[in-house]
Amino acid sequence: MANISGLTRDPKVGVGKIGDAGYIVIDTGGIDSVDEDELSAAAASKALQMAKECAAIILVVDGRAGSNASDIMLADELRKFNIPVTVAVNKTEGLDFDLTLSEFSHLQIGPIIPISAAHGEGLISLIELATSQWETASYYETEAENLDQIRIAVLGRPNVGKSTLVNRVLGDEKMITSDIPGTTRDSVEFDYMRDEQSYVIVDTAGVRKKGKTDGIAEKFSVMQTLQALDRANIALLVIDAREPITDQDLNLLGLAIDSGRSIVIVVNKWDNLSEEVRDDCRKALDRRLRFARYAEICFISALRGTGLKAMFDSINRAAAASIQKHKTNDLTKILIKALDTHQPPMVQGRRIKLRFAHMGGSNPPKIIIHGNQGDKLPESYKKFLENFFRQELNLVGTPIKFFFLKGENPYSGRKNQLTKRQLVKKKRLMRFVKKR
């Protein structure tokens, strides 16, 4: 291969295998928006067409050249396919790890991993990462990498008080509210400023529970909610304190978690309740929302406007957590501390060794952990690690996406080449050992 970009014109196909799983790799033609000659335009559209048919996409970018307009354009195109994308930053040998990652994290399309194709470094990890994404729910990526504007999707069952809350926040009766479920039919969004922070608040139609008669309405409201989540920073899940927590509340929480957005849970209609009812409500929340412990819970009355300041504090914390970035060094230190606290178990007589951790992107934060047999870690240990990292990094409100790779350390540097003299010495030593 020569060092000229756009050299691969015709797609090449190869077959590979990792563990029991086989896969087919398609090397598409390079895409370059800068030199827009006909040949490369044709290659680009062909490559995109082929990518559409794939189960996973690897977007290869050049770590030495840095990110450019065509990377951004490509990421925008690929995002539309709804196929998991892994970003491989090539030619990273000898480059500063964290700088390279942050250079490309604004692509916001999938986890990022550094490789050096010429030296064969990081390739196994890359394939593992790309294929591991098949199993996970799709993680939407928002384009926002900063918090110039925080988008809040207000979701919940019908009648829990979403529109009342939006009105109270805006200080204006923008939305129609009533005690008839299904008042809001379509999502509506509003700009809002508070303490010099700009927000967009999206009121959505309440998601009805599954029923035979209103199946279509249910699907429609779920679709609307998903759309609102897609572009949001925060999923604000509103629950009615005066009703028992239902499966529908939990389903919505599940949707929010799968979307990868940060979550704040709002328990509404907290006004005029006896201490006894409040206590029961707190206990029920504790019992049923266990799987989303990382989300902060706020108790408010949309009608009276109480608890809103605490709610916005939670929103700001959760939004900030979703775009936090951490240095490889710091994450690896936390990993070592976790290993010291609680060793990974043995698998087939071998201790699982985890060696280092790095960031693979943000919103939601992605942490990539490398080690031998990293793919064999039991769920309980993964949970332990997640909680450990969450505590150490003080990450509230945001899901964290972990990837455990068994591949080699892409940054271990090349293997030490032995000199001729060292080779002779090694041979002699091996012979000596064998004799004994």
Ligand X SMILES: Nc1nc2c(ncn2[C@@H]2O[C@H](COP(=O)(O)OP(=O)(O)OP(=O)(O)O)[C@@H](O)[C@H]2O)c(=O)[nH]1
Kindly state the helix (H) or strand (E) to which residue 125 belongs, with its residue range. helix 123-132
Q: What share of the chain is helix, strand, coil (3-state, %, to 5)?
A: 40, 20, 40
Helix (H, G, I), strand (E, B) or coil at 63: coil
Query: Is 246 a residue that touches Mg ion (CB under 5 A)?
Result: no
With binding defined as CB under 5 A, does residue 184 bind Mg ion? Answer: yes
For residue 181, the partner it binds in Mg ion, ligand X, none, with Cβ less than 5 to 8 A by kind, is ligand X
Residue nearest to ligand X (CB): 206
Polymer length in residues for the chain: 436
**Which CB, 142 or 163, lies closer to ligand X?**
163
Query: 399 touches which of ligand X, Mg ion, none (CB within 5 to 8 A by kind)?
Result: none
Interface with Mg ion: number of residues (CB under 5 A): 4
CB of 54 to ligand X, least distance (A): 39
Pairing state of beta strands 234-240 and 149-156? parallel
Task: Give the footprint of ligand X on this chain (CB under 6 A).
Answer: 156, 158-164, 177-179, 181-184, 205-206, 268-269, 271, 301-303
Residues 6+ apart with CB under 8 A from 316: 150, 197
183 lines the binding site for Mg ion (CB under 5 A): yes
> Nearest distance from residue 162's CB to ligand X, in Å?
4
191 Cα distance to chain centroid: 26
Interface region with Mg ion, contact rule CB under 5 A, candidates 142-150, 154-162, 208-216, 315-323: 154-162
3-state SS of 352-391 is CEEEEEEEEECCCCEEEEEEECHHHCCHHHHHHHHHHHHH
Tokens of 61: 């970018």
Piece of 136-144, 163-171, 187-195, 267-275 that binds Mg ion (CB under 5 A): 163-171
Rounded to a whole number of angstroms, the minimum distance from the CB of residue 163 to Mg ion is: 3
Nearer to ligand X, 157 or 358 (CB): 157
- The answer to the question of residue 224 lying near Mg ion (CB under 5 A) is no
Q: Is 163 in the site for Mg ion (CB under 5 A)?
A: yes
Straight-line distance from the first to the last Cα atom of the chain, in angstroms, rounded to the nearest whole number = 47
**DSSP 8-state class, residue 65:** T
When the beta carbons of 269 and 317 are compared against ligand X, the nearer one is: 269
CA distance 84 to 110: 7
Q: Indicate the residue among 177 and 322 with the shorter CB distance to ligand X.
A: 177
Per CB under 5 A, residues contacting Mg ion are 162-163, 183-184
